[in-house]
C-alpha cells in the first residue's frame, strides 16, 4: 500500500471514529448510561434546552422585577413578550438541529478549524449559528415607530450574517454594516448591505439615523470609546442607538480560537439582571454622553447544534439618545 493510500485510509478511519464518538456521546447526554446521580444531573441540565420548553417557561425569558430596578430604569422599562416571530425562529432552529448528518459535518469542521479560526468565522463558513435578538414588533415598540416609518441611514455594528439587520433594514433607504469575520461579510454582501471597515464607519462624512450595537459591547477592546464614537456619528437630536448587552456582563474578545480579556473594562455593578441594567443606565451610559429612552428584557437566541435545539442568554436591549437630544425619531 502506497503512502498516499495509507494516509487516506487513516483519515477515513479517523472520520468514522469521530462520528461514532459523537453519536455515542449524544446518547450519553440522555443520562441513560450514566450511573452517578450527580453526573446524570449535570448531563440532564446540559441538554435541558433540547427538550420542548413550556410556553410559561419561555415567558420567564422576559420577566423583570421592576421594583428591583433603579428609578431611572424603572420609568423607561418596556415589557416584551414571546411573539410569533420569536416562535418561528425557535421552530426553525429545532428543525435544523434535527438534521443529523448536517450537524455531524458541522461538528467535524468546527473541531478541525477551532484552534485556528474564530467561532464567528466558522459559523459564517458553515452558514449556521444565526442570532435572534428582537422581532419587528418589538423593534417598533422600543423605538415607538409604526410599520410605515422611514429614515435615511441605518448602521449595524458587528452585524454577523445580517439576520438581525433584516429586522430593522426595511425602515431605511440605506443600510450599512460592519463585520470583522470574512465569511460573515460574504453573507452581508449577498444581502446587498453596504460594508464599512471598523475604522471607516465613523469617518464617512455623514451621520446615521439609527446605529445598532447588538451584543458587541462585551466583545470589543475599548467599549467606552466605541460608545463615544457612536454618539458623534448619530444625527443630532433624532439619532438613536439601539444597544443590546448580555447580562451578567462578562467581557471577552475573540482572537483566532482564543478568548482574552479586553484592554478596557466597563465597570458594571450588581449581580442580578435588574441591578446591572440600573448600573448601565445610571453609571455607564451617562459617562459616554447618553441617556436611556427605553429598555426591555428579551432572550438572546442562537441556532443550536446536534445537542441543543437553540441556546439562550439573557439580553437587555436599550434605546439611547445623546444627552440633551430630546427630539423623537418618529416625529
Q: Which residue bears the cell 487513516?
A: 10
Condensed to tens digits (0 to 9), the pLDDT of residues 196-206 reads 999 999 999 99
Query: Do 32 and 77 lie in a common domain?
Result: no
Task: Name the E strands within 115-268.
Answer: 131-132, 151-157, 172-177, 194-195, 210-214, 240-246, 253-255, 258-260
The residue among 45 and 172 whose pLDDT is bigger is 172
Query: Do 166 and 227 lie in a common domain?
Result: yes
pLDDT at 213: 97
User: Is 60 exceeded by the pLDDT of residue 248?
Assistant: yes
Query: Do 249 and 105 lie in a common domain?
Result: yes
Query: Do 77 and 112 lie in a common domain?
Result: yes
pLDDT at 34: 40
Could you tell me the pTM of the whole model?
0.78
User: Is 50 exceeded by the pLDDT of residue 286?
Assistant: yes
Structural domain of 267: 66-322
Condensed to tens digits (0 to 9), the pLDDT of residues 88-104 reads 999 988 887 665 666 56
Query: Do 154 and 20 lie in a common domain?
Result: no
Q: Residue 278 is part of a domain; what is its CATH number? A: 3.40.50.150
CB 210 within 8 A of CB 145: no
CA 134 from centroid of its chain's CA atoms:
10
Residue 57 falls inside a structural domain: no
User: Is 70 exceeded by the pLDDT of residue 125?
Assistant: no
Phi and psi at 193, nearest 5°, equal -80, 150
Q: pLDDT-derived band of residue 26, with 50, 70 and 90 as boundaries?
A: very low
Q: Residue 214 has which C-alpha cell? A: 447588538
Give the mean model confidence (pLDDT) for residues 305-318. Answer: 85
Query: Do 296 and 247 lie in a common domain?
Result: yes
pLDDT at 80: 97
Tell which residue, 264, 191, 207, 269, has the closest CA to residue 240. Answer: 207
pLDDT at 209: 98
Amino acid at each position: 500500500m502506497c503512502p498516499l493510500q495509507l494516509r487516506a485510509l487513516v483519515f477515513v478511519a479517523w472520520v468514522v471514529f469521530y462520528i461514532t464518538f459523537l453519536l455515542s456521546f449524544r446518547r450519553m447526554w440522555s443520562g441513560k448510561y450514566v450511573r452517578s446521580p450527580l453526573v446524570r444531573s449535570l448531563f440532564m441540565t446540559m441538554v435541558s434546552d433540547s427538550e420542548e420548553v413550556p410556553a410559561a417557561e419561555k415567558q420567564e425569558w422576559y420577566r423583570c422585577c421592576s421594583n428591583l430596578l433603579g428609578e431611572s430604569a424603572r420609568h423607561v422599562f418596556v415589557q416584551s413578550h414571546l411573539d410569533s416571530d420569536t416562535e418561528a425562529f425557535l421552530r426553525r432552529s429545532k428543525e435544523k438541529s434535527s438534521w443529523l448528518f448536517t450537524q455531524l459535518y458541522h461538528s467535524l469542521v468546527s473541531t478541525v478549524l477551532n484552534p485556528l479560526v474564530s467561532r464567528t468565522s466558522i459559523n459564517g463558513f458553515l452558514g449556521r449559528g444565526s442570532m435572534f435578538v428582537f422581532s419587528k414588533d418589538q423593534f417598533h415598540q422600543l423605538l415607538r415607530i409604526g410599520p410605515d416609518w422611514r429614515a435615511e441611514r441605518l448602521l449595524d455594528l458587528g452585524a454577523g450574517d445580517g439576520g438581525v439587520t433584516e429586522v430593522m433594514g426595511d425602515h431605511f433607504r440605506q443600510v450599512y454594516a460592519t463585520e470583522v469575520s470574512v465569511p460573515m461579510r460574504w453573507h452581508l454582501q449577498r444581502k446587498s448591505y453596504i460594508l464599512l471597515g471598523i475604522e471607516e464607519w465613523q469617518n464617512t462624512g455623514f451621520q446615521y439615523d439609527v446605529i445598532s450595537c447588538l451584543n458587541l459591547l462585551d466583545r470589543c477592546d475599548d467599549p467606552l470609546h466605541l460608545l463615544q464614537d457612536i454618539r458623534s456619528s448619530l444625527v443630532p437630536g433624532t439619532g438613536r442607538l439601539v444597544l443590546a448587552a448580555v447580562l451578567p456582563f462578562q467581557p471577552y474578545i475573540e482572537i483566532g480560537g482564543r478568548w482574552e480579556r479586553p484592554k478596557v473594562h466597563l465597570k458594571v455593578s450588581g449581580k442580578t439582571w435588574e441591578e446591572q441594567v440600573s448600573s448601565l443606565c445610571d453609571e455607564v451610559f451617562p459617562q459616554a454622553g447618553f441617556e436611556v429612552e427605553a429598555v426591555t428584557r428579551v432572550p438572546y437566541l442562537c441556532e443550536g447544534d446536534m445537542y441543543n435545539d437553540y441556546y439562550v442568554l439573557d439580553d437587555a436591549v436599550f434605546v439611547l439618545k445623546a444627552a440633551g437630544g430630546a427630539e423623537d425619531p418618529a416625529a
